[in-house]
Amino acid sequence: MTKGIVYLVGAGPGDPRLITLRGIDCIKKAEVLVYDRLVNQSLLDYGSPEAEKIFVGKRPDNHALPQEEISKLLVEKALHNKIVVRLKGGDPFVFGRGGEEAELLAEQGIPFEIVPGITSAVAVPAYAGIPVTHRSYVSGFSVITGHEEDEKENTAIQWDKLAAGKDTLIFLMGVKNLELIVSQLVSRGKSSHTPVALIRWGTLGRQEVLKGTLDNIVSMVKENNFKPPAVIMVGEVINLRDKLKWWENKPLSGRAVVITRPHHLQGGFREKILELGGEPVSLPTVKVLPPQDYSLLDGFLEKIDKFHWIIFTSINGVEYFFNRLKVKKIDFRELKGVKLAAIGPKTGEAINDLGLKVEFQPAEYRAEAVAEGLKGFTSPGEAVLLPRADIARLELPRALKEMGLDVHEVTTYYNELPEDRGDFNFEELLSGSKKPIITFSSSSTVRNFMKLLVDGGKEMVKGAVLASIGPITSETIRSFGLNVDIEASSYTMDGLLEEILKYTETNEY
What b/e string do you get for 44-75 counting C-beta neighbours within 10 Å, with b at 16 or more? bbbbeeebebbbbbbeeeeeebeeeebbebbb
Going by the DSSP 8-state scheme, the letter that residue 206 receives in this structure is T
Active site includes 220? no
Q: Which of 106, 107, 83, 87 is nearest to 96 (CA)?
A: 87
Measured between alpha carbons, how far is 462 from 485 in angstroms, rounded to an integer? 10
- 90 φ/ψ angles, rounded to the nearest 5 degrees: 70, -130
Question: What backbone torsions phi and psi does residue 94 show, to the nearest 5 degrees?
Answer: -110, 90
CA atoms within 13 A on the CB side of 478: 11
434 assigned to active site = no
User: Sign of torsion, CA 365 371 376 378?
Assistant: positive
Buried b (16+ CB within 10 A) or exposed e, 216-226: ebbeebeeeeb
For 188-246, where are the alpha helices, taking DSSP H only? 217-223, 241-244
Q: How many CB atoms lie within 10 A of CB 117?
A: 29
Could you tell me which residues come within 8 angstroms of residue 388 by beta carbon, excluding any fewer than 6 positions away? 313, 314, 317, 409, 410, 411, 412
Check 29, 53, 58, 72 and give the catalytic one.
58
**Contact present, 47 and 158 (Cβ < 8 Å):** no
CB-based contacts of 133: which residues, under 8 Å, 6+ apart?
A: 139, 140, 141, 168, 237
- In this structure, the number of other CB atoms found within 10 A of the CB of residue 213 comes to 16
**b/e per residue, 474-505, with b = 16+ CB within 10 A?**
bebbeeeebebbbbbebbbbebbbebbeeebe
Q: How far is CA 159 from CA 95, 188, 483, in A?
A: 18, 7, 53
Exactly one of 15, 36, 167, 485 is catalytic; name it: 36
Burial label, 417 (beta-carbon count in 10 A; 0-12, 13-18, 19+):
middle
Cα distances from 436 to residues 409, 465, 509, in angstroms, run 38, 6, 9
Tally the C-alpha atoms within 13 A of residue 103's C-alpha that lie toward its C-beta: 6
Active-site annotation holder among 91, 173, 190, 434 = 173
To the query of whether residue 36 is one of the catalytic residues in this protein, the response is yes
Peptide bond into 436 cis (omega under 30): no
Q: What angle do CA 124, 128, 133 make, to 5 degrees?
A: 75
The enclosing H or E element of 469 equals none
Distances (CA, A) of 164 to 133, 187, 217: 17, 11, 20
Active site residues: 36, 58, 173
